[in-house]
Amino acid sequence: MQIASITLHAAPLRRATSAAKTRARADDGAGRNRCRTCNLRELCLPGGIVQDEVDAFSDTVFTRRRVKRGDTLYRLGEEFNALYAVRAGFFKSSVVLEDGRDQVTGFHMAGEIVGMDGIGTERHASDVIALEDSEVCIIPYARLEEAGMQRQLHRAMSRELVRDQGVMMLLGTMRAEERLAAFLLNLSTRFVARGFSPSEFHLRMTREEIGSYLGLSLETVSRLFSRFQDDGLIAVRQKHIVIHDIAGLKAVMVKVQD
Amino acid sequence: MQIASITLHAAPLRRATSAAKTRARADDGAGRNRCRTCNLRELCLPGGIVQDEVDAFSDTVFTRRRVKRGDTLYRLGEEFNALYAVRAGFFKSSVVLEDGRDQVTGFHMAGEIVGMDGIGTERHASDVIALEDSEVCIIPYARLEEAGMQRQLHRAMSRELVRDQGVMMLLGTMRAEERLAAFLLNLSTRFVARGFSPSEFHLRMTREEIGSYLGLSLETVSRLFSRFQDDGLIAVRQKHIVIHDIAGLKAVMVKVQD
DNA sequence: CGTACCTTTGATAGAGTTCAAGAACGGTGG
DNA sequence: CCACCGTTCTTGAACTCTATCAAAGGTACG
């Protein structure tokens, strides 16, 4: 089975055969995209809307932007004027405390929207950094309103709120084992939705970034990977992960606390 | 100085003299409210918008709903069709894991909006329970769109996303002392914005609920209250809190980690 | 006015952090 | 293409913070 996103343009499995053509069609040659022909349209903003809403939005064309590994998409305090839809690649978002401590607040892959935390204050409230060479669609905020896409934006933001609740739950009530199991299962689910293997993938973040996201030290993350491997749940070799026992990972989350 | 919200209808200090009249005007006598005359309008959904937007919305009239202490405003899984603006009282929201563990994800006071996590799936994603006899404005979601209030909703949701990031930071990187200090300072700030004393208030939640929110055990919360008191930062007697040294509390958050 | 709930405080234990050192990897330049 | 260097990862050992268990007050609500 194909391993998720080894290269920048690795295409989702299920659409692999037509992916090249689709991408060509989605690109007007001037670094801009048309939603109608974008192979991410089911995952992106218009996700889940009725057909005529898609049509209204489909002719809208958005500029792309490439972000190299390690570069920032935006920084805390920068003026907000657009949302970004991840087209390819992988991002992390993080917040910094005055004293320098920082916390990774999320990882973002193709089809996901970042930047919504800037709407309220018209300033971005976090840093977003590419973990590999990536590409985004720039969605000017004003344009969303013209296109009558508010409802889709509400949905996307609401989903984000629910996701945040999940992270709070994870940080507030779960033990280290459970957090990492939940993290791996979450990644697996998201890769599946993109047509990649649910059981084999490359982590694009370091142990330190995983630890920051999960509220653990990087050593604990490393130790847990080793333990999961010893228990036959996964195989780890650096950033390459194979999940051998999904049910076993799920069991980690329920069997621990009693 | 007046202590925040001892009674259901305790009015914010700064508006205390006209509060009774204001409330009377905001109520059309049929359990419904007009935003224009609501004394919470600066804090609620229209907060921060330009004048003509306020006017467009001001004539909208919303039904109220009373929720008794201990009763639920809504439950996880319930169908979503409205947002709720807290008019008076105090709520907590929480999520439950399959195994019964639950986590308080937020506390909500007058002028704050709850229910936004239901927009995405059209089902509420959390439980919201009144911690004292309370009252909300019911804001039907469909009505927001008719009234062209989407932008205000975006702002409210975005602010919530930023708030969530703060909670993640708290849970992910702060130690117990820092969490509780941050919690007290946050409450203080919110009370001030409502015209109450920044330094003296009644907690409306139990130690257990505070602990759940902060990812700590109730015993740790209790011990920290005692320690803060011994250190002269606050005075605690059950749920009554007096902050003696705001700067000292702030210092707890920076001096600990080095 | 009684009882159930909440809070405080102590003692103990354990999960996870911190410090440390060596190993493996990957990118870069000769 | 290979060697080198910085970064990332792994693993061990000691320690520390916070949870857990337990028991005794204290409150407040019905």
Question: Does an H or E element contain B85, and which?
Answer: strand B82-88
Who has greater pLDDT, A97 or B186? B186
pLDDT at B30: 59
Phi, psi of B215 (to 5 degrees): 70, 35
Q: Distance in angstroms, CA of A185 to C1' of C4?
A: 42
Cβ contacts of B209 within 8 Å, gap of 6 or more = B92, B104, B131
Q: CA-CA distance, B23 to B46, in Å (whole number)?
A: 18
Cβ(A254)–Cβ(B99) under 8 Å? Answer: yes
CA pseudo-torsion sign A188, A192, A195, A200: positive
Q: What gap in Å lies between CA A205 and CA A221, rounded to an integer? A: 12
- A94 Cβ contact partners less than 8 Å away, ≥ 6 residues apart: A102, A103, A104, A105, A126, A127, A129, A212
Q: A9: number of CA atoms within 13 Å, CB side?
A: 7
Angle at the Cα of A19 from the Cα atoms of A17 and A21, rounded to 5 degrees: 100
Residue of A nearest to B210 (CA): A172
Contact yes or no for A165 and B101 at CB 8 A: no
Q: Indicate if the pLDDT at residue A58 is higher than 80.
A: no
Residues with CB under 7 A from strand C: A 175-177, 211, 215-217, 219-220, 223, 237-239; B 203, 206-208, 218-219, 221-223, 225-226, 236, 238-239
- A105/B254 CB distance under 8 A: no
* Neighbour order of strands in the sheet with A32-34: A32-34, A61-67, A134-140, A82-88, A113-114
Q: State whether residue A138 sits within 8 Å of chain B by CB.
A: no
Q: Which nucleotides of D are covered by protein (CB under 7 A)?
A: 8-13, 17-22, 26-28, 30
Residue A188 has pLDDT above 90, yes or no: yes
> Is A3 a residue whose pLDDT tops 80?
no
Using an 8 Å Cβ cutoff, are A63 and A100 in contact? Answer: no
Q: How far is the CA of A154 from the C1' of C10 (A)?
A: 51
- Provide the pLDDT for residue B12: 40
Chain C, protein-covered positions (CB within 7 A) = 5-11, 15-20, 24-26
Q: How far is CA A116 from the centre of its chain?
A: 14
Evaluated on CA atoms A26, A141, B125, A97, the torsion sign reads: positive
Q: What is the pLDDT of residue B29?
A: 55
Q: What is the pLDDT of residue A9?
A: 33
- The 10 Å Cβ neighbour count of residue B105 is 25
Tell which CATH architecture fits domain A18-149.
Sandwich (2.60)
- The strand pairing partners of A95, in sequence order, are A103
DSSP, collapsed to helix, strand or coil, labels residue B96 as strand
| Identity of the amino acid at A214 | L
Contacts of B145 in chain A (CB under 8 A): 150-151
Task: pLDDT band for A253, please (50, 70, 90 cuts).
Answer: confident
Q: Which CATH number describes the domain made up of A174-257?
A: 1.10.10.10
Which tokens go with B207? 């130690």
Instruction: Locate CATH 2.60.120.10 in chain B.
Output: 18-149
Is B153 within 8 Å of chain A by CB? yes
Q: Where in chain B is the domain with CATH 1.10.10.10?
A: 174-257
Task: Give me the CA B227–C1' C10 separation in Å, rounded.
Answer: 15
CA B175 to C1' D16, whole Å? 12
**Closest by CA position to B62, among listed B88, B83, B39, B89:** B83
Task: Over range A143-148, report the average pLDDT.
Answer: 82
Q: Which residues of A touch B153 (CB under 8 A)?
A: 154
Over its length of 258 residues, how does chain B's per-residue pLDDT go in tens digits?
444 433 333 334 343 334 434 443 455 555 676 777 777 777 776 555 555 555 556 566 789 999 999 999 999 999 999 999 999 999 999 999 888 889 999 999 999 999 999 999 999 999 999 999 999 999 999 988 887 788 889 999 999 999 999 999 999 999 999 999 999 999 999 999 999 999 999 999 999 999 999 999 999 999 999 999 999 999 999 899 999 999 999 999 876 544
Residue identified by tokens 């005692």 is: B226
The CA–CA distances, whole Å, from A146 to A46, A56, A195, B51 equal 15, 11, 32, 21
pLDDT digits (tens, 9 = 90+) for A108-129: 999 999 999 999 999 999 999 9
Closest residue to D7 (CA to C1') is A206
Report CA dihedral (B21, B6, B166, A96) to the nearest 10 degrees: 100
Any bridge partners for residue A137, and if so which?
A64, A85
Tokens 């109730």 correspond to what residue? B218
DSSP E strand stretches across chain A: 32-34, 61-67, 72-74, 82-88, 90-96, 102-109, 113-114, 127-130, 134-140, 200-202, 234-237, 240-243
Has residue A258 got a pLDDT over 60? no
CA distance B255 to A217: 21
Q: What is the pLDDT of residue B57?
A: 61
Are A164 and B161 a contacting pair at CB < 8 A? yes
Distance separating alpha carbons of residues A107 and A209, to the nearest angstrom = 10
What does the pLDDT read at residue A31? 62
Decide: residue B23, CB within 10 A, 0-12 exposed, 13-18 middle, 19+ buried: middle
DSSP state of B12: P
Assess contact for A201 and A241: CB atoms under 8 A: yes
Helix (H, G, I), strand (E, B) or coil at B187: helix
Cβ of B97 within 8 Å of Cβ of A215? The answer is no
Contact B82, B141 (CB under 8 A): yes
Could you tell me the pLDDT band of residue A23, with boundaries at 50, 70 and 90?
very low
How far: A90 CA to D28 C1' (Å)?
Answer: 54
pLDDT at A11: 34
What pLDDT score was predicted for residue A20? Answer: 39
Residue A93 class from Cβ within 10 Å (0-12 exposed, 13-18 middle, 19+ buried)?
Answer: buried
Q: What is the dihedral of CA A19, A93, A256, A172, to 10 degrees?
A: -140
Contact at 8 Å (CB) between A179 and A223? no
Which residue in B104, B151, B164 has the most chain A C-beta atoms within 10 A of its own C-beta, making it the best mutation to test that interface?
Answer: B164
- Give residue A254's pLDDT: 77
Contact B120 A165 (CB under 8 A): no
> In chain A, whose CA is at the least distance from the CA of B152?
A120
| Highest mean pLDDT out of A3-12, A193-202, B168-177 | B168-177
